[in-house]
Amino acid sequence: MTSTLLLRCVAPLDYERRHAVARWQREGHPVQLSQPSPQARYLTFWAQGCHGLWQGMIGAREWLHAVAPQWSQWLLQEGTGQEVLDLFSAVSRPVEVAPELLDYQRLFAFELIQGEALQGACLPCIATPQSDVWVMEGPSQRKEASRPLQAWLQAVPQALRIVLGNSELARLPYRQLAMGDVLIIAEQTRQLFMADLCIGQFTFVKEGLRMQLTPPDNLSPAAPGVLSALPVKLEFVLGELTLSLAALNAFIEGQVLPLESTAASNVEVRVAGKCIAVGELVQLGDRLGVELREVGRGMGNE
């Protein structure tokens, strides 16, 4: 497919940065995608925190002016970059970032670079009291906070499988089953399954079944967004054709199935047969992906 379709290429690193900025903005953090000045000098560092390793940088001139304005005359002198770097590395916490955004216990591997070395890259930029901090490489072990299900996902139908129990055919009196046979349920599990995961158990009551949910990962059933841990199978549909058997046979013999010129721009993402998003088929590095243009079509969105 990639050798015949002309797809727009999306650089994986650029996508990761845009995605990180969008996520942080949704969480209410003052983050934007920004291009550092090629004329400025920057202090770069690696950080170790609960989110793993991440790499950042901050303008040398701006940081010094924010933390030590009385030394602003340094900013007019040539060759003082190393002194600023030494001062930055000597401070225990030279920059304060919201812990729920990016935290760190220690900084290391300090360097002084010229902005032109970044070759015009756009980086996530975080506003801090010590001036802007650019994220050169995102956290290696970031944990996503649990959030309530989006409206479109709540509307997706899921099959709830009510399982009484099981038996092994080898243990039954006869392997060949016939009408009138009674199969004994050897092990009564009384489990509830959704998306092929056990989400709880049930007991019989006069009115029907009483369910006791025990979602995955030992989460409390009352916790918000608890069922978001259940997997949802996404189907990516490039197109649909209504064909007669004769027409289909002709396509099979010719081994060519024509596509609409707009097919790659209108890929549907479906769950349980329902379209929940539409996007463009793109080349993301060495993989195919769908860049979403509409989300929650016909099912509500938030």
pLDDT in tens, 268-284: 988 777 887 889 988 88
Tell me the CATH class for 235-295. Answer: mainly beta
CB burial readout 116-130, b (16+ within 10 A) else e: eebeeebbbbbebeb
- pLDDT value at position 70? 78
Cα separation of 124 and 24, whole Å? 10
All structural domains of the chain with their residue ranges: 13-137, 158-229, 235-295
Q: What is the mean pLDDT of residues 95-107?
A: 89
Cα separation of 99 and 106, whole Å? 13
pLDDT, tens only, 134-163: 999 988 877 666 667 777 777 777 777 888
- pLDDT value at position 2? 44
Residue corresponding to tokens 């955004």: 101
Given phi > 0 = left and psi -120 to 50 = alpha, else beta, which region is 109?
left
- pLDDT value at position 32? 95
- pLDDT value at position 243? 62
Of 91-95, 184-188, 203-207, 296-300, the poorest mean pLDDT is in 296-300
Same CATH fold, 235-295 and 158-229?
Answer: yes
The DSSP code sequence of 172-239 is SS-SS--TT-----SEEEEEEEETTEEEEEEEEETTEEEEEE--GGG--TTSTTGGGGS----EEE--
- Point out which residues pair with 108 in neighbouring strands: 46
- pLDDT level of residue 222 (50, 70, 90 thresholds): very low
pLDDT, tens only, 58-99: 999 899 889 888 776 665 565 667 888 988 999 989 999 988
pLDDT, tens only, 4-19: 678 889 899 899 999 9
- pLDDT value at position 193? 84
Residue 226: closest CA among 246, 250, 200: 200
Q: How many CA atoms lie within 13 A of 117 on its CB side?
A: 11
Q: How many helices (H) and strands (E) does the chain have?
A: 5, 15
- The fold for domain 158-229 equals Surface presentation of antigens (SPOA) (2.30.330)
- pLDDT value at position 9? 92
